Amino acid sequence: MLPTYGRVLAAVCALATTATAVVPVEVKGRDFVNSETGDRFQVMGVDYQPGGTSGFSKSKDPLSDPKSCLRDAALMQRLGINTIRIYNLSPEADHDECASIFNAAGIYMILDVNSPLQGGSLDRTDPEGTYNAEYFEQVFGIVEAFKDFPNLLGFFAGNEVINEQSVKKVPAYIRAVQRDIKDYIKEQVDRNIPVGYSAADVRPILVDTVNYMMCEDKDEPSASSDFFGLNSYSWCGDANFKKAGYDVLTEDFSKSSIPVFFSEYGCNAVKPRKFSEVQAIYGDEMSQSFSGGLVYEYTQEDNEYGLVKIKDNGDATLLVDFDNLMEQYAKLDMKKVQTAKESQTGAKAPTCGEGLIKNGTFLSTFDLPKRPSKVQDMIDNGLKDAKTGKLVDVSSAPVEQTIFDHTGKEVKGVSLKALAEGETNAPGKHADGKADGKSDEKDEESAAGALSAPVWGLATGAALATLLL
Ligand SMILES: *[C@@H]1O[C@H](CO)[C@@H](O)[C@H](O)[C@H]1NC(C)=O
């Protein structure tokens, strides 16, 4: 019965276009959860910044070229991820197709609101000089561009703003930016989009930092983080839970009241990377404190953290690291990864107060800078002349560029599969080849949009049954 079933399904799916969508993820206690099923959502993803900051301009960012997005979304489906993070975005570029492609692929987006251009971020050495209306045109421009996409998981208000160079009052400015984004969302968006901060792994001040960001202050009820990202490269080569200090991190974050995840991980001191930390991150112990993480990073750039090398003509090579990561994901028990625990949802946020901050690297007061009146006006009336993004139809389609495995052999049959309503990508779910890049004959069929029956049988069985009746 299965082969016939498979063929019928393939036909159905080839015709399907989607304005269908993933289910928005929301924060519940210290977990991310699927807002319809209540299943736990752990971030399983990559940082996505093809070309680095030098590839960025007002009209060009990682979500402005649909052809590249389609290629990458298809390869990410194969890899097995559910989330991408993008650091630099321009409110002036058109993101509708790219954001819709990732939605159709079942992949969520965590977006930094900042840009590397003049006025596009808080200056850690001069926060008061850069906390102004010009900056918020960037910030709210990004909120407008992405607020209507169901696969928008959240916004990062800042990335590693607090570090060795930052002045003492910087944390108060990050809380102020969080406050302003959350108030803008409250007024201008009909969904509660989570807002958080991404921190550098500076261990002596890490606990202070998360406490400062997540604590609640009744005078500034919108200022606290909804989630916390940690950029950490402490697991190198064949390290283990203790050697990498993951035991300390698990302990440090065990009392967090909000979801915490690695917003960057993947030390490359030992190459190729085997990503053995994946089993620890999603394992029993650590997943009490962490909600997964993002591997740095998708494309190979000068610093050699990539999984995929993109050529000038758009063709792509899957590096050994890509296969290694894919194999690690495939070993995970996804049922366990998605199980929500009651105990996770009850944690209470600490109250902001001096006693919370131990180190002295930054101020332990929580008075925030006053919001400029022009920014208040944007919050009340919406950003003027904003380019508000919207979901467009996306169909399953083969990737036009040529894809190679790490030995230089062509990988055939790579295609984007537009998923059914409410589906999320997961390891092994839509891989159209094997981890070593070999594609057998069955894989080549999928170039036309065919999908393997066992996978789709589960997801669309009900819909198909209706169709056959
Ligand atoms: C505070 O943190 C800094 C690193 O940012 C560290 O050098 C210093 O020793 C810490 N001080 C205390 C008292 O823990």
Residue 438 confidence (pLDDT)? 43
Q: What is the mean pLDDT of residues 315-332?
A: 98
Residue 342 confidence (pLDDT)? 73
At 33, which CATH number? 3.20.20.80
Pocket flag, ligand 1, residue 361 (CB < 6 Å): yes
Q: Which is the closest atom of ligand 1 to the Cα of 360?
A: 1
Q: Identify the burial level of 129 via C-beta atoms within 10 angstroms of its C-beta, where 0-12 means exposed, 13-18 middle and 19 or more buried.
A: exposed
Q: What is the mean pLDDT of residues 448-465?
A: 33
User: Is residue 328 located within the same domain as residue 416?
Assistant: no
Instruction: Judge whether 304 lies within some domain.
Output: yes
What confidence tier does 164 reach under pLDDT thresholds 50, 70, 90? Answer: confident
Instruction: Inform me whether the pLDDT recorded for 203 exceeds 80.
Output: yes
- What domain range includes position 433? 4-8+393-398+408-468
Residue 362 confidence (pLDDT)? 87
Residue 264 bears catalytic tag: yes
pTM: 0.89
pLDDT tens per residue, range 14-27: 444 546 789 999 99
Catalytic residue among 160, 216, 220, 445: 160
User: Is residue 429 located within the same domain as residue 364?
Assistant: no
Q: Hey, whose CA ends up nearest to atom 14 of ligand 1?
A: 359
pLDDT tens per residue, range 393-438: 999 999 999 999 999 999 999 999 999 999 999 998 876 544 444 4
Instruction: Judge whether 386 lies within some domain.
Output: no
Candidate from 86-95, 161-170, 454-463 with smallest mean pLDDT: 454-463
Q: Hey, whose CA ends up nearest to atom 11 of ligand 1?
A: 359
Q: What is the mean pLDDT of residues 112-118?
A: 96
What confidence tier does 240 reach under pLDDT thresholds 50, 70, 90? Answer: very high
User: Is residue 175 located within the same domain as residue 48?
Assistant: yes
Instruction: Inform me whether the pLDDT recorded for 186 exceeds 70.
Output: yes
What confidence tier does 463 reach under pLDDT thresholds 50, 70, 90? Answer: very low
- Those residues whose C-beta lies under 8 Å from the C-beta of residue 115, and which sit 6 or more positions away, are 56, 88, 89, 90, 121, 138
Residue 430 confidence (pLDDT)? 76
- Whole-angstrom distance, CA of residue 230 vs CA of residue 202: 10
Pocket flag, ligand 1, residue 205 (CB < 6 Å): yes
Pocket flag, ligand 1, residue 359 (CB < 6 Å): yes
User: Is residue 232 located within the same domain as residue 320?
Assistant: yes
Instruction: Inform me whether the pLDDT recorded for 10 exceeds 50.
Output: no
Alpha helix ranges (H) inside 89-218: 96-104, 127-130, 133-146, 170-188, 203-214
**Six token digits for residue 166:** 């930052």
